[in-house]
């Protein structure tokens, strides 16, 4: 043996595992299975490695960072997602750095480049609008584990965690149809995103299976925010078809729709039914409590982090795609009687 | 001259400025005054330095990171604050990494240590509850520019940007008194924080100057969140003094208070007046639109970032404290007539 100190890399080579797996074992992470852990610990003893966390820091190795890049931090969905991720990454001994792109591709490139420079162990990305597989290729080529969440990036060889947008929306609209609604608007969301297309597909499918032809004029796109929801609801209320219900792109839009309805003397949950999508914390306590398609933002964050740690632990970026279930949660905002067209026009 | 390449440090020494100032000049930042810029550029020409951004990255210098550490990312105030900071740091060529402590001092130590390892150019910190000057001393000793926001850390030799909590609250309560309210509750906030103490001080001062003795039973502390606001409002409604108005610790508490009032068939802005503190984006569009003490969260974020860049630019951490003005913004939630004690008890 040479005189130089034994490194994590030496142990990884000798044990036939990745450097990250060795790090996880050194941190007593529960993410490493027993067989691997035993093998790594045996190698550590054989080579006489002494783990010194402070020394590791002084050598410039630093604590391991997981990068979280989201597209809109002002939407509380993303804050909740990040908090869920943090629960998992923290207990595994990582530090989480969060960056907000505000839907800018340039910004996204910049923050990812910076996180790479700082040696991140892995990246969880809710991609900005217009992100393509080419944007993620350098990361994949460098062997950096990546999990894409919320919005899939077609063709990218990265793990993906999205929710069942189409199924969830279909179920919500089917519920509104059962309640007797026939004129149901789709409110909010950027029309150029895949998530929007999927949710509109679920909306159309439910209405068409009830024999209702959907006009493009029933779909009111807007920014996926509270302000966007006010705009979309205001436009919908001015429409000749006198809607009695709306399915919203997300909860932020649904809250805005409720604001917009009230501003026009319509009471959500009493004379207009509103359903959101996401189930942010606020949905439960809002008045009226928001009916929504729940994808459990914190749970989704935890799951994304688990997918990433699994990849980091495996030491190679094996892509998997998980479409998590969406569950209709009925609260007060979707209640209320159905106005006749004459009443609705009043 | 030696054969080794000229470095930024050589230029800094020769020009008598800090390394960071040289960096800012190289990035054409507007933060450097003309005299300094001219001097640095002259030195660069004299020494024959060739700036190569990519080479700088390859040398391991990396892009310069500003760390933002906040105590509660699920409160949209902090998301808005971070977005404001981002506007300024981004245009100055920095990348912003955000971390959430969730009020944990351990977590705060951990993320700050990690950010230091990654060579941050400066730190903006909204400190977790219980942060002391000792926690910040190592940063000060290392010459890392720090700006503390929202909550001051007594005795810490760092720049501080807080808002006029006492004055803002006093103004809000004075307005409620002018409207004829006499039984005004204080809702929400952690009782062990300095910000809480300041806002309660403003609340007491206004009531006492109107000859109203404040009982401790009028102050309902709770988590500074929407859920906390529901709890505090519910407790206040059960109080024998039949409050007709409330000043809330922050907007999140105020939104929760509105939810709690409605759950008890009281309509905020009609038969109970509510005023918040912060002026988050949602305050304007909520129904009723929230009257609040505005401290302009995004503007506060921009200002904090400017304070930090000023320090980075100066190359030394000269502490300054700014107490930004708070401005009462009257919307709908503080309106409504004053119920008689008999009505309020009904």
**Is B301 a residue whose pLDDT tops 90?**
yes
Phi, psi dihedrals of residue B328, rounded to the nearest 5°: -75, 125
B72: three-class secondary structure by DSSP: coil
Other Cβ atoms less than 10 A from the Cβ of A3: the count is: 4
Number of domains in chain B: 3
On chain A, the residues whose CB falls within 8 A of the CB of B83 are: 73-74, 100, 102
- What residues of chain A, 199 to 218, have a C-beta less than 8 Å from chain B? none
Which residues have C-beta within 8 Å of that of residue B346, sequence separation ≥ 6?
Answer: none
Give one DSSP letter per residue of A12-37, joined into a string. Answer: HHHHTS-HHHHHHHHTT-TTS-HHHH
Phi, psi dihedrals of residue B239, rounded to the nearest 5°: -75, 145
Q: Are A277 and A59 in contact (CB under 8 A)?
A: no
Name the one residue in this structure whose structure tokens are 């006749």.
A340
pLDDT, residue B52, reads 42
**Is A183 a residue whose pLDDT tops 90?**
yes
- What residues of chain A, 121 to 160, have a C-beta less than 8 Å from chain B? none
Identify the CA nearest to B38 among candidates B56, B17, B55: B17
Cα gap A183→A343, rounded to integer Å: 13
Q: Verify that A169 and A277 share a domain, yes or no.
A: yes
Q: Are B285 and A228 in contact (CB under 8 A)?
A: no
Give me the total of CB pairs closer than 8 Å, taking one residue from chain A and one from chain B. 111
Give the distance from residue B193's alpha carbon to the nearest chain A alpha carbon, in angstroms. 23
**Is B69 a residue whose pLDDT tops 60?**
yes
Residue A345 in tokens: 């026009």
The proportion of chain B whose per-residue pLDDT surpasses 70, expressed as a percent, equals 88
Give one DSSP letter per residue of B87-123, joined into a string. Answer: HHHHHTT-EEEEEE-TT-HHHHHHHHHHHHHTT-SEE
Give one DSSP letter per residue of B174-243, joined into a string. Answer: HHHHHTT---EEEE-B-TTSHHHHHHHHHHHHHHHHTTPPPPGGGEE-B-SSHHHHHHHHHHHHTSTT--
The residue count of chain B comes to 346
**Is A85 a residue whose pLDDT tops 80?**
yes
Which residues have C-beta within 8 Å of that of residue B227, sequence separation ≥ 6?
Answer: A281, A285, B256
On chain A, the residues whose CB falls within 8 A of the CB of B62 are: 114, 117-118
Q: Verify that A103 and A236 share a domain, yes or no.
A: no
A92 pLDDT band (50/70/90 cuts)? confident
Mean pLDDT of B48-64: 47
Cα gap B243→B258, rounded to integer Å: 14
Cα gap B6→B24, rounded to integer Å: 17
Q: Verify that A287 and A248 share a domain, yes or no.
A: yes
Contact A95 B102 (CB under 8 A): no
Which residues have C-beta within 8 Å of that of residue A285, sequence separation ≥ 6?
Answer: B226, B227, B230, B256, B259
Q: Verify that B146 and B189 share a domain, yes or no.
A: no
**Helix axes A19-26 and A8-15, enclosed angle (nearest 10):** 110
Q: Verify that B183 and B254 share a domain, yes or no.
A: yes
Q: Are A181 and A159 in contact (CB under 8 A)?
A: no
> What is the CATH number for A97?
3.40.50.2300
**Is B104 a residue whose pLDDT tops 70?**
yes
Contact A79 B80 (CB under 8 A): no
Contact B97 A100 (CB under 8 A): no
User: Could you read off the pLDDT of B317-332 as tens digits, one per residue?
Assistant: 578 999 999 999 999 9
Residue A140 in tokens: 């994949």
**Is B336 a residue whose pLDDT tops 80?**
no
**Is B181 a residue whose pLDDT tops 50?**
yes
B2 inside domain:
no
**B80 part of contact set with chain A, CB < 8 Å:** yes
User: Could you read off the pLDDT of A260-302 as tens digits, one per residue?
Assistant: 998 899 999 999 999 999 999 889 888 789 999 999 999 999 9
B28 DSSP β-pair partners: none
Query: Out of A40-54, A146-160, A221-235, B164-178, which region has the weakest mean confidence (pLDDT)?
Result: A40-54
Q: Give the neighbor-by-neighbor strand order of the sheet with B95-100.
A: A321-324, A159-163, A146-149, A122-125, A65-70, A95-100, B95-100, B65-70, B122-125, B146-149, B159-163, B321-324
Residue B151 in tokens: 């909550």
pLDDT, residue B81, reads 93
Nearest to A63 among B73, B80, B117 (CB): B117
A57 pLDDT band (50/70/90 cuts)? very low
In the listed set B36, B58, B80, which residue is the last one of a domain according to the structure? B58
A50 inside domain:
yes
Give the distance from residue A330's alpha carbon to the nearest chain B alpha carbon, in angstroms. 18
Identify the CA nearest to B199 among candidates B178, B220, B227: B220
List alpha helices for A142-291, DSSP H. Answer: 165-178, 194-209, 226-237, 251-263, 281-285
Claim: this prediction has a pTM higher than 0.90 = no
- The alpha carbon dihedral of B309, B313, B318, B320 has a sign of negative
B213 inside domain:
yes
A59 pLDDT band (50/70/90 cuts)? very low
A203 pLDDT band (50/70/90 cuts)? very high
**B226 part of contact set with chain A, CB < 8 Å:** yes
pLDDT, residue B317, reads 58
Task: State the residue range of the domain holding A46.
Answer: 8-58
A257: three-class secondary structure by DSSP: helix
**Is A335 a residue whose pLDDT tops 70?**
yes
What Å distances lie between residue A67 and A21, A89, A145, CA to CA?
Answer: 18, 10, 11
pLDDT, residue B325, reads 92
Residue A139 in tokens: 């990361």
**Is B4 a residue whose pLDDT tops 90?**
no
Contact A99 B95 (CB under 8 A): yes
B253 inside domain:
yes
Give the distance from residue B210's alpha carbon to the nearest chain A alpha carbon, in angstroms. 34
How much is the mean pLDDT over chain B?
Answer: 87
- What residues of chain A, 81 to 110, have a C-beta less than 8 Å from chain B? 82-83, 86, 90, 95-100, 102, 107, 110
Contact A100 B117 (CB under 8 A): no
Query: Which of B14-23, B95-104, B229-238 has maximum average pLDDT?
Result: B229-238
Q: Residue A314 belongs to what H/E stretch?
A: helix A297-314
Give the distance from residue B306's alpha carbon to the nearest chain A alpha carbon, in angstroms. 19
A3 inside domain:
no
B55 pLDDT band (50/70/90 cuts)? very low
In the listed set B58, B73, B96, which residue is the last one of a domain according to the structure? B58
A96 inside domain:
yes
Give the distance from residue B296's alpha carbon to the nearest chain A alpha carbon, in angstroms. 15
> What is the CATH number for A26?
1.10.260.40
**Is B197 a residue whose pLDDT tops 60?**
yes
Which residues have C-beta within 8 Å of that of residue B112, sequence separation ≥ 6?
Answer: B67, B69, B123, B125, B139
Q: Verify that A187 and A157 share a domain, yes or no.
A: no
Residue A209 in tokens: 């299976």
Query: What single DSSP character describes residue A119?
Result: T
On chain A, the residues whose CB falls within 8 A of the CB of B111 are: 95
Which is more confidently placed, A10 or B300? B300
Q: Verify that A159 and A304 share a domain, yes or no.
A: yes
Q: Verify that B285 and B203 share a domain, yes or no.
A: yes
pLDDT, residue A54, reads 35
pLDDT, residue A60, reads 42
Contact B99 A102 (CB under 8 A): no
A2 inside domain:
no
ipTM: 0.72
**Helix axes A76-91 and A297-314, enclosed angle (nearest 10):** 40
User: Could you read off the pLDDT of A151-168 as tens digits, one per residue?
Assistant: 999 999 999 999 999 999
A82 pLDDT band (50/70/90 cuts)? very high
pLDDT, residue B25, reads 79
- The alpha carbon dihedral of A201, A204, A210, A211 has a sign of negative
Mean pLDDT of B273-291: 92
Which is more confidently placed, A60 or A68? A68
A340 pLDDT band (50/70/90 cuts)? low
With 0-12 / 13-18 / 19 or more C-beta atoms within 10 angstroms meaning exposed / middle / buried, residue A181 is buried
**Helix axes B34-47 and B8-15, enclosed angle (nearest 10):** 120
Other Cβ atoms less than 10 A from the Cβ of B102: the count is: 16
Cα gap A145→A74, rounded to integer Å: 26
B50: three-class secondary structure by DSSP: coil
Name the one residue in this structure whose structure tokens are 């006093």.
B170
How much is the mean pLDDT over chain A?
Answer: 87
**Is A216 a residue whose pLDDT tops 80?**
yes
Cα gap A149→A162, rounded to integer Å: 6
User: Could you read off the pLDDT of A232-260 as tens digits, one per residue?
Assistant: 999 999 999 999 999 999 999 999 999 89
B59 pLDDT band (50/70/90 cuts)? very low
Cα gap A235→A229, rounded to integer Å: 10
B237 inside domain:
yes
Peptide bond into A179 cis (omega under 30): no
Q: Verify that A70 and A49 share a domain, yes or no.
A: no
- What residues of chain B, 278 to 307, have a C-beta less than 8 Å from chain A? 281-282, 285-287
Q: Verify that A250 and A113 share a domain, yes or no.
A: no
pLDDT, residue B58, reads 37
Contact A113 B63 (CB under 8 A): yes
Give the distance from residue A87's alpha carbon to the nearest chain B alpha carbon, in angstroms. 11
Q: Verify that A124 and A265 share a domain, yes or no.
A: no
Q: Verify that B211 and B255 share a domain, yes or no.
A: yes
């Amino acid at each position: 043996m040479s005189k130089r100190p034994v490194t994590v890399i030496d142990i990884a080579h000798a044990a036939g595992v990745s450097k990250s797996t060795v790090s996880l074992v050194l941190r007593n992470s529960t993410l490493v299975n027993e067989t691997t852990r035993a093998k790594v610990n045996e190698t550590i003893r054989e080579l006489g490695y002494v783990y010194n966390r402070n020394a590791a820091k002084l050598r410039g190795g630093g604590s391991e960072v997981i990068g979280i890049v989201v597209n809109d931090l002002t939407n509380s969905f993303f804050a909740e997602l990040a908090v869920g991720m943090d629960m998992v990454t923290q207990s595994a001994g990582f530090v989480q750095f969060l960056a907000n792109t505000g839907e800018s591709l340039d910004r996204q490139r910049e923050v990812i480049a910076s996180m790479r420079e700082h040696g991140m162990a892995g990246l969880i990305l809710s991609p900005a609008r217009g992100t393509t597989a080419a944007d993620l290729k350098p990361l994949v080529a460098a062997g950096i584990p990546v999990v894409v969440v919320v919005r899939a990036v077609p063709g990218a060889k990265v793990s993906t965690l999205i929710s069942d947008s189409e199924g969830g929306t279909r179920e919500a609209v089917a519920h509104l149809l059962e309640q007797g609604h026939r004129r149901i608007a789709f409110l909010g969301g950027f029309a150029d995103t895949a998530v929007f297309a999927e949710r509109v597909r679920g909306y159309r499918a439910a209405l068409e299976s009830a024999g209702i032809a959907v006009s493009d004029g029933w779909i009111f796109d807007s920014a996926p925010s509270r302000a966007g929801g006010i705009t979309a609801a205001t436009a919908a209320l001015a429409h000749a078809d006198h809607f009695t219900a709306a399915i919203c792109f997300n909860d932020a839009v649904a809250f805005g729709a409720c604001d917009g309805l009230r501003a026009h003397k319509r009471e959500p949950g009493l004379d207009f039914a509103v359903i959101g999508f996401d189930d942010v914390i606020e949905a439960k306590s809002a008045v009226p409590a928001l009916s929504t398609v729940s994808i459990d933002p914190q749970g989704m964050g935890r799951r994304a982090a688990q997918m990433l740690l699994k990849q980091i632990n495996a030491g190679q970026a094996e892509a998997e795609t998980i479409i998590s279930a969406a569950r209709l949660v009925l609260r007060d905002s979707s209640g209320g009687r159905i106005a006749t067209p004459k009443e609705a026009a009043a």
